[in-house]
């Protein structure tokens, strides 16, 4: 590692396969929903969703994340309907792309189990263990799991003035290597304290249940249970999340904290997303959940080259 370059993140490993050594992996968003917050990501039937998978694979996705329920408020979707939306698509993707890792975005153990039986590799639990059986499903079926932070909110709940006061007694959070993560002494670090403590505990529970530590992703979960100030601070302190010792997932794509930072609607948030992606890549994040796969892949690869983790694809300038 060169002087001044932060430590690299932990590579993601799913079912023994290491994804994208030398640069972060790109997780493509494939929403099997009619009401996703970003209209371009909506797929209302399996044929459209499979076509979307084909496009993101061509654009360089390392894995896909299939979701059947909008994260925010919206029409009620029951367990059976979520399974109907997600599981047949997982099976079709597994058949069409046998080597492509497949993630399922769900907080329900029943959906995760059905998806596991259809061939899914990862459970993206965006609602922070709301269903405690979810991690048991992942462990039993050899899957990875995403540990998230929502500030204690129930699924599909928007935050209302969340606060994370600084707690002097919590200046260090246990890391996977037995050390402690420095969460600073700035009052703004209250959210970082809460996030790192929550993620460390959830990751420890997943490992104790039998999930491979390199298959346990930790996600600060921008916007969920957070203000824009919170999400910005967690981005600039990506290094503290990396120090927990697990692959760090960043789901930044077109989120409200980007829109509020720049005063832009969801359709115009690509550049802001990519700027935040570059910062988090430099600081060691391992996986990026993205709507714009090709652009995201190019950004993370360029940052990896600047960091020295990857060589240039071609370097002949001034040599010939």
Predicted confidence (pLDDT) per residue in 199-250, tens digit: 999 999 999 999 999 999 999 999 999 999 999 999 999 999 999 999 999 9
User: What is this structure's pTM?
Assistant: 0.93
pLDDT of res. 20 = 77
What pLDDT does 172 receive? 62
pLDDT at position 187 is 67
Cα–Cα distance between 105 and 84 in angstroms, integer? 14
Domain ranges of the chain: 13-23+107-307
The answer to whether residue 69 scores a pLDDT higher than 80 is yes
Lowest mean pLDDT among 47-51, 139-143, 144-148, 166-170: 166-170
Give pLDDT, residue 141.
Answer: 97
pLDDT at 1: 57
Residues facing 67 on adjacent strands: 31, 105
Percent of the chain predicted with pLDDT > 90:
81
Q: What is the rounded end-to-end Cα distance, in angstroms, of the chain?
A: 29
- Please determine, for residue 39, whether its predicted confidence score (pLDDT) is greater than 60: yes
Measure CA 129 to chain center.
15
Q: What's the pLDDT at 3?
A: 73
**Average of per-residue pLDDT values in the chain:** 93
- Nearest 5°: phi and psi at 230? -60, -50
Query: How far apart are alpha carbons 112 and 5 in whole angstroms?
Result: 38
Q: Which fold has domain 13-23+107-307?
A: TIM Barrel (3.20.20)
Q: Identify which of 223, 258, 284 has the alpha carbon closest to the alpha carbon of residue 10.
A: 284
CA distance 299 to 160: 33
Contacts of 132 (CB under 8 A, 6+ apart): none
**Beta carbons within 8 Å of 182's beta carbon, 6+ residues apart:** 171, 172, 240, 243
| Pairing mode of beta strands 180-182, 172-174 | antiparallel
């Amino acid at each position: 590692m060169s002087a001044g370059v932060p430590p690299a993140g932990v590579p993601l490993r799913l079912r023994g396969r290491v994804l994208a050594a030398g640069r972060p992996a790109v997780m493509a968003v494939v929403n099997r929903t009619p009401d996703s917050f970003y209209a371009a990501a909506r797929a209302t039937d399996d044929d459209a969703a499979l076509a979307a998978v084909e496009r993101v694979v061509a654009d360089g996705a390392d894995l896909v994340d299939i979701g059947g329920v909008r994260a925010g408020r919206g029409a009620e979707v029951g367990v059976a309907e979520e399974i109907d939306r997600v599981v047949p698509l997982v099976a079709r993707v597994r058949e069409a792309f046998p080597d492509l890792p497949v993630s399922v975005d769900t907080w329900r153990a029943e959906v995760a189990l059905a998806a596991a039986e259809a061939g899914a590799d990862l459970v993206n639990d965006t609602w922070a263990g709301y269903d405690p059986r979810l991690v048991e499903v992942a462990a039993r079926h050899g899957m990875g799991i995403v540990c998230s932070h929502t500030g204690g909110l129930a699924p599909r709940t928007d935050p209302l003035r969340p606060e994370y006061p600084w707690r002097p007694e919590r200046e260090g959070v246990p890391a996977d290597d037995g050390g402690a993560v420095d969460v600073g002494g700035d009052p703004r670090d209250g959210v970082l304290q809460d996030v790192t403590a929550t993620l460390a505990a959830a990751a420890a529970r997943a490992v104790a249940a039998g999930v491979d530590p390199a298959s346990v992703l930790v996600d600060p979960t921008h916007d969920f249970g957070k203000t824009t100030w919170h999400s910005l601070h967690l981005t600039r302190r990506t290094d503290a999340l990396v120090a927990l010792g697990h692959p760090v997932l960043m789901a930044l794509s077109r989120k409200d904290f980007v829109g509020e930072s720049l005063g832009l609607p969801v359709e115009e948030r690509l550049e802001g997303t990519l700027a935040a992606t570059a910062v988090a890549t430099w600081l060691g994040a391992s996986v990026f959940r993205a709507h714009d796969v090709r652009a995201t892949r190019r950004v993370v690869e360029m940052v990896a080259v600047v960091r020295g983790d990857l060589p240039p694809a071609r370097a002949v300038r001034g040599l010939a």
